[in-house]
Amino acid sequence: MSNRVYITGVGIISAIGNNVSENLSALETGRAGMGEMNYLQSIHREKIPVAEVKLDNEMLAVASGLPAHFTRTALLSAIAAQEAFSNASIPGFTKLRSGFISANTVGGMDKTENFFSDFLSKPAKGKLRNVVHHECGAATEIVASLLGIKHHIATISTACSSSANAIFYGARLINQGMLDVVIAGGTDALTKFTLNGFNTLMILDNRYCQPFDENRRGLNLGEGAGYIVMVSEKVAQTLPSIPVCTLSGYCNANDAYHQTASSPDGTGSYLAMKGALEKSGIRAEEIDYINLHGTGTQNNDIAEGTAIKLLFEGHYPPMSSTKSFTGHTLGASGGVEAVYSVLSIQHGLIYPNLRFETQMKELPFTPVTTFKKNEAVQNVLSNSFGFGGNCSSLLFSKV
């Protein structure tokens, strides 16, 4: 029996759709999710675009089956995780050792912010139920309970690489024979704290972002959740249909260059991609598509681009940043983009990098700008690079 980890289900909610089907439709038609804030209350409302999920908390509660007073982070997580679980169709699930590994960076901060606003105006007015789920792990435990998962529950929070790390942590648990099934990915909701923090760093774009463009100005923040279901080969053999792909490689590297900036020479990015390739045994020239980290900031794009130039010189595969659709969903981004990577293999898709105009002068390649169907996609590399130089790459391969 090999220790291959198979992907058997995906689920997602983002600014471009409330499920897999809606996300695919938006990706094909080039419909981005950015716009003026509708649900987040901020003094920057008319100045900074964001990529919000197009449902308020009451609507999310109905879709998730959770109470509306739960955090938006948990509500988003529940919707995507349940879709992934349903999509997986695993027979005899209750008899298997299962895990839920979920990432986020803001926890229940959306509710906490509202609590303190009310509390400061009148101490008796603040509702304590808005702070009891503040910590990052609360959303994970709420959704694990909803899914009926009890064997292993964990929360990962490593900034923008969070849910990529959650995914390969889950894969390692399967590889080590500790679990049979893992639902892994991440979730994050927009909050005033996040928006104000990134605005202080001066890396937000007041227009729609242009990842990997010479004239890029910064990122657009987004929200959402994305999960994949991974199973052992033993479980895969019991499924009604053959899984689409495996998680063939993964790697985390940390160049510790700066608290928020990436190493300008792309050290962490290079080591993460190189490590994922080495673990999989797949050569660089065999990669058919790269889902770029591609935030649209000056620093991140040149760091990632420099690493790709070094690693793929002579063979630059098609690549694009789907953050041009969803915005940067932070702790959810690795999960959201893992879902897109699996769908790329399943349907033979290459996604466009929206709003690209001018090639970066430092790089010999450009991202894909048109949606491509019926492509021979065998291997997809997905990058998620975070604060502190915490860089992770996932490699998905067709079965």
Say whether both 169 and 48 belong to one domain: yes
Say whether both 276 and 164 belong to one domain: no
Say whether both 214 and 178 belong to one domain: yes
1 found inside a domain: no
Of 209, 236, 263, the position where a domain reaches its end is 236
292 found inside a domain: yes
Of 181, 210, 236, the position where a domain reaches its end is 236
Using an 8 Å Cβ cutoff, are 154 and 147 in contact?
A: no
Say whether both 172 and 71 belong to one domain: yes
- What is the pLDDT, as a whole number, of residue 260? 65
369 found inside a domain: yes
Using an 8 Å Cβ cutoff, are 184 and 335 in contact?
A: yes
Using an 8 Å Cβ cutoff, are 126 and 118 in contact?
A: yes
Q: Which of 136, 245, 251, 293 is catalytic?
A: 293
Q: Which of 133, 136, 251, 328 is catalytic?
A: 328
Say whether both 293 and 225 belong to one domain: no
Q: Which of 136, 160, 209, 391 is catalytic?
A: 160
How far, in Å, CA of 202 to CA of 128, rounded? 34
Cβ neighbours of 24 (radius 10 Å): 20
283 found inside a domain: yes
Q: Which residues pair with 225 in a beta bridge?
A: 13, 187
| 258 has catalytic annotation | no
Of 205, 236, 267, the position where a domain reaches its end is 236
Q: Is 148 helix (H, G, I), strand (E, B) or coil?
A: coil
- What is the pLDDT, as a whole number, of residue 9? 98
Left (φ > 0), alpha (ψ -120 to 50) or beta: where does 327 sit?
left
| 293 has catalytic annotation | yes
Say whether both 230 and 320 belong to one domain: no
Residues spanned by the domain of 70: 6-236
Q: Is 263 helix (H, G, I), strand (E, B) or coil?
A: coil
- What is the pLDDT, as a whole number, of residue 2? 62
Question: In whole angstroms, how far apart are CA 375 and each of 70, 191, 285, 288, 323?
Answer: 42, 38, 16, 9, 21
CA dihedral 172, 265, 313, 277 (to 10 degrees): -10
Comparing C-alpha atoms, which of 225, 163, 162, 189 is closest to residue 13? 225
Q: In the chain, how many domains are there? A: 2
| 151 has catalytic annotation | no
pTM: 0.97
CATH code: domain of residue 140:
3.40.47.10
- What is the pLDDT, as a whole number, of residue 264? 79
- What is the pLDDT, as a whole number, of residue 267? 92
207 found inside a domain: yes
**Can you give the pLDDT of all 399 residues of the chain as single tens digits?**
467 999 999 999 999 999 999 999 999 999 999 999 999 999 999 999 999 999 999 999 999 999 999 999 999 999 999 999 999 999 999 999 999 999 999 999 999 998 887 788 888 877 788 888 999 999 999 999 999 999 999 999 999 999 999 999 999 999 999 999 999 999 999 999 999 999 999 999 999 999 999 999 999 999 999 999 999 999 999 999 889 999 999 999 987 776 666 777 889 999 999 999 999 999 999 999 999 999 999 999 999 999 999 999 989 999 999 999 999 999 999 999 999 999 999 999 999 999 999 999 999 999 999 999 999 999 999 999 977 778 999 999 999
